[in-house]
Structure 1
Amino acid sequence: MKLHHEDRPPREGLRFLLRAGLSVLVIVLLTAAATATAGLLKIKDEIAAPPGAPPPIHTKEVTEAKPGKPQTIVILGSDRRYADLKKNNPLLEKSNPARSDTILLVRMDPDQQATAVLSIPRDLKVLIPGYGINKINAAYSLGGPGLTAATIKQLFGGDFTINHIINVQFKGFREAVDAVGCVYTDVDRRYYHSNLGLPVSEHYAEIDVRPGYQRLCGQRALDYVRFRHADTDIVRAARQQDFLRSAKDQLSTSALINQRSKLIRILKGATQTDTSLRSVGEVIKLAKLAIFSADHPVAQIKFPATFTGDPATGEYVEASEQTIQTLRNQFFHASPQVRKKTAASTPVRNTTGNAQAARARLVSGRTAGENAVARAVAQRRLGFRLYFPGKLTPAGRYASVTESGSLTAPSPRIYTIRDRAGHPHQAYRLVVLESLDEGSYYGIQGTDWRTPPLLAHPTSSTTVGGKRLLLFKSGSRLRFVAWKRKDAVYWISNSLTLSLSNAQMLGIAGSLTHIGP
């Protein structure tokens, strides 16, 4: 099917499409679903899927959007195809239940100043139409993307409209991350699990990702965003959204242009979409909305939840009716999120009140810090000073960065990180455990790579303890606080769930100190 001349976006519009495609691609990279972005990147091409690609999604749950009106997209990341169920494929010897590993809602609205993104916990307790009460990810096993969409509509109310569904397999995520040159990510702690010597009943996805700022590619990136063993759904969603932010800050339009053919091949072959996204007209309609939304920030709607049940036999995430309605309202009206972020982006002044608040929430951590770094400092393994905080949160304690569950004394991880040109840089990471039950860890990072992508776009700056600190916010909360010296940069990383207050983050960063020369 060819585009008529009047249907084609103008040449200037195509350039905007690439920018709009960037936002969509980043969102999709998180869940490995980028068929829509593929269409935006090469809008003049036919949308027809290549031979062997997953079939389109046929469902009555998708409503056609009117031109220029808001669109809501359901993005699913699944561990295998719905066709892997024996009832859908009699040729299988046994059933391999497919599960929706990630459920993400994205809304672009020309009347709002932000693109809304909402992660739905996969263990959320819901009513699945025709099947009763269960976890929301069971809807995919029972009826594929269509039943998942029906369950989402049941959850948020009958008039909740879904305009598109995108479903992807993990293979597409791995290959797409590699195609864009991988993603530099601030890893909060050690992620480790080995099935060696364990009974089959205790087998989980194997992973070995050490803490610290690093470049994650392919399978390691997938392992990191999917990790769930010993984590809650809330922490897992926060980790995925943090990966999304990292990718968004690093991907450039030129990178997408250079790799567009490869991305299109990868993404078309690894994703399913509703039938309308096989239509050039529908893709153009979505593209025009994406052009309009190209410069809008992403408003990430946090899902507050309560855990119920027994972790050993099955644990639910529950949300009240009032919570669901609040989430729906925030999802439909993302602009207040942007206004809140803008207001919170004003410089934080180091007033006496702020300093007192920081001190009230922190305790001395100098002795613990000296003990943690003493050996590394004595060995002079770094070519720059190893700073540690003189203040810690009251519950904070240094954690081992070696094997999971080891009894070794806490010490910094000292390692080498390479920039995109392949040049090596020295780095270290100190991990502080805030709450084991909540999976809350914060960190202290140092490196002689003075221009890492993470520090490219500070929100604002302030001065604390004689140090000029760069501030990086997520909404109203500080995600990173950085300090630059002539030979190195240092930053404090908040936990993934942003459990440390702004005053605590500033107090810890302002207390950075060192031992030795």
Structure 2
Amino acid sequence: MRSERHQMVKKRKKRRWKSIVAILLLIIAAVLIYSYYQFKQGMSAAQEQSEVQEEEYEFNGEEDQYGGTNILLLGSDSRGEENARADTIMVAQYHPDNGTYKLMSFMRDMYVNIPGYGESRINTALAQGGPELLRQTIKENFDIDLQYYAIIDFDGFVHVIDEAFPNGVEIEVEKAMSEKIGVTLEPGLQRLDGKHLLGYVRFRHDARGDFNRVERQQTVLKEVANQFTSLQTLTKLPKLVGVVTPYINTNMGTGNMLYMGKDVLTGGAPDIKTMRVPVDGAFEETTINGAQVLTVDLEQNKTAIREFLSQTE
């Protein structure tokens, strides 16, 4: 009798666990279906407006030697023409084990060796051989392994900001700006839409030129990351990824973007460490063939980069 009762209890427990597992599987399936639907809905709406050409580039990326995921971020000054130079060159690193986020900006006027083409400004590598040649150039000169790339042009930047931040991105504009940026900005704390934010990060007509421009670009990316975590939720992430996908040319899969986006959201506002290459004291401003360029001390810069990327906090 006791044995029969024991068997009945075991059967009930087994059925209960089966029910729990079935419910969990249904929830997971529902979440996946919902996420896919939101992703496709966002991408479909964005594709109707996007004019970005879907061109596939060769990119033989490798994993970072320090265990992080390095992404080559490129802002292109292309307006539809081929062989556009890189207007902005950055490397973003996400290290899942350390939970760190790092951002390096590369001055576009650095005079370096471009494999197969000789010495020139680093931003010409994109025009000469696409992101793969720029990857090789960064690897040869600065010993950085890059796994992914992402290219966004001016129009794409405007659309992405407007979609992700319909109320604008809050930025402290430090001075009046208008020269050669297509908009007029007044100083003060304000919310900038995509067009005005693009003007802000492109402005370079002040005493420090590109150096101040790089600082503003890093500031904007930090603010975008911080404000994104406060405005968005995990439920909105799939649709947002779908919205931005048509505007960005990248070899990153949707799953990679969702994974990194999820970690940003669940981890709160990220503490993004920044660096500029070349570092202070490791370059000279000079003129070569009539063009103003930066000649750099490669070994000193490589040492600074290694220290920056190997930091675990």
**TM-score (structure 1 length as normaliser):** 0.46
Matched, 1:63 2:37: no
CA 1:256–1:137 in 2, change beyond 3 Å: closer, same or farther?
farther
- Given residue 72 of structure 2, which amino acid in structure 1 is its aligned partner? V
- Indicate conservation of the 8 Å contact 1:107/1:117, yes or no: yes
Q: 2:186 aligns with which of 199, 210, 214?
A: 210
CA distance in 1, matches of 2:96, 2:59: 25
Q: 2:226 aligns with which of 237, 241, 249?
A: 249
Aligned residue number for residue 162 of structure 1? 146
CA distance in 2, matches of 1:48, 1:65: 30
Query: Which has the larger share of helix?
Result: 2
CA distance in 2, matches of 1:182, 1:307: 38
- Indicate conservation of the 8 Å contact 2:72/2:91, yes or no: yes
Aligned residue number for residue 148 of structure 1? 134
SS of the aligned residue for 2:226 comes to helix
- Indicate conservation of the 8 Å contact 1:48/1:278, yes or no: no
- After superposition, residues 455-474 of structure 1 pair within 5 angstroms as none
- The offset of 1:235, in angstroms, is 1.2
Aligned residue number for residue 84 of structure 1? 81
Q: 2:106 aligns with which of 98, 120, 145?
A: 120
Matched, 1:315 2:295: no
Matched, 1:137 2:129: no
CA distance in 2, matches of 1:221, 1:287: 22
- Indicate conservation of the 8 Å contact 1:113/1:334, yes or no: no
- Given residue 223 of structure 2, which amino acid in structure 1 is its aligned partner? S
- The offset of 1:248, in angstroms, is 3.3
Q: 1:224 aligns with which of 200, 212, 237?
A: 200
CA distance in 1, matches of 2:308, 2:36: 29
**TM-score (structure 2 length as normaliser):** 0.72
- The offset of 1:316, in angstroms, is 1.3
- After superposition, residues 68-467 of structure 1 pair within 5 angstroms as 69-80=67-78, 84-85=81-82, 97-157=83-143, 160-179=144-163, 180=165, 181-193=167-179, 204-230=180-206, 231-255=208-232, 260=237, 263-274=240-251, 277-278=252-253, 280=255, 297-303=271-277, 304-305=279-280, 306-310=283-287, 313-335=290-312, 338=313
Aligned length: 273
CA distance in 1, matches of 2:193, 2:168: 5
- Given residue 77 of structure 2, which amino acid in structure 1 is its aligned partner? D
SS of the aligned residue for 1:251 comes to helix
Structure 2 residues without counterparts, runs of 5 or longer: 1-24
User: Which is bigger in relative contact order (C-alpha 8 A, separation at least 6)?
Assistant: 2
CA 1:65–1:206 in 2, change beyond 3 Å: closer, same or farther?
closer
RMSD: 3.8
- Indicate conservation of the 8 Å contact 1:78/1:98, yes or no: yes
- Given residue 186 of structure 2, which amino acid in structure 1 is its aligned partner? R
CA distance in 1, matches of 2:181, 2:69: 35
- The offset of 1:262, in angstroms, is 6.2
- The offset of 1:75, in angstroms, is 0.8
SS of the aligned residue for 2:178 comes to strand
User: Could you tell me the percent identity over the aligned residues?
Assistant: 24
- Indicate conservation of the 8 Å contact 1:117/1:301, yes or no: yes
- Indicate conservation of the 8 Å contact 2:135/2:146, yes or no: yes
CA distance in 2, matches of 1:295, 1:124: 32
Deviations 1:161-196 (CA, angstroms, capped at 9, x unpaired)? 211111111212112222212111111111122xxx
